[in-house]
Structure 1
Amino acid sequence: MSLEFSTSDDAPAFECVIAALDDGACREIVAVLEKPMTVHEVAEVTGRPLSTTYRKLDSLSEAGLVEEVEGIRQERHRKSRYVANFERLSIGFADGNELRVDIDRSAALGLWSNVGQEF
């Protein structure tokens, strides 16, 4: 049985996605990221330390499940915001008993898709 992504050639590794989904803190963070939030906002809403929130957002970004969508300026610094970038994720078997992960990004970002892409 082989593992593959059905989304694109540059899709994250299957194991990376599964590891992120297996992590309760990562799942909790994805659940609150319906709109762009800063790391501080995510930490506050989930009740997690900033260091943990940064690590989990890095894991989710690497897995392709969240995206940095805009930066807001506060004084001289730009603060990143993150949002979940998929609508649906499914794991199943394809032809030849290949385990596949399908990530549907069709309407996931909605109005956020074109916000602040320039940094």
Structure 2
Amino acid sequence: MRHDSAPSEDSPSLQAILVALDDADCRAILRKTAEPMTATELIDACDIPQSTLYRKLELLSQASLVREQDTINPGGGRTTQYERDFDDVTISMDEEDNLSVTVERPPRNADERLADIWSKMGDEL
């Protein structure tokens, strides 16, 4: 069970979130992505090999804890930046001993939602 303060199509499982948060490299990436960063910047900032970084970003993406933002460069091509996509993650247990996770996300303005749509369209091309 997951609740968002901002609607999202993604519904990560409790397991996906726990796996990502249990990983030291993933936690390092989350600490550095309060502001958008490119993969190259993250490699340097987190001292993680490139192949490892992309595996960790995939874990964080599957858990919907990091979001990708693509920008089109004026000279052609695009740049992908990664940014932490939550304000708070709460794991709780109910009266029936069932675990649940609540992910609170920052509200998105219209420009950010449009950028997300364009980014997803670029992935499909």
Shared fold by TM > 0.5? yes
Moved over 6 A (4+): none
**Cα displacement (A) at 1:106:** 3.5
CA contact (8 A) 1:70 1:115 kept: no
Kindly report which structure 2 residues correspond to 1:20-39, keeping only aligned pairs within 5 A, or say none. Answer: 20-39=20-39
Give unpaired runs (5+ residues) of structure 2: 120-125
- Aligned residue for 1:7? 3
Q: Distance in 1 between matches of 2:26 and 2:103?
A: 17
> Displacement of 1:51 after TM fit?
1.1
Compute the RMSD of aligned alpha carbons. 2.5
**1:74 positional shift:** 7.2
Q: What is the CA distance between 1:47 and its match in structure 2? A: 1.0
CA distance in 2 between counterparts of 1:25 and 1:115 reads 30
Higher strand proportion: 1
How many corresponding residue pairs? 114
C-alpha separation in 1, matches of 2:115 and 2:106: 19
User: Share of identical aligned residues, percent?
Assistant: 30
**Uncovered stretches (5+) of structure 1, i.e. residues with no partner:** none
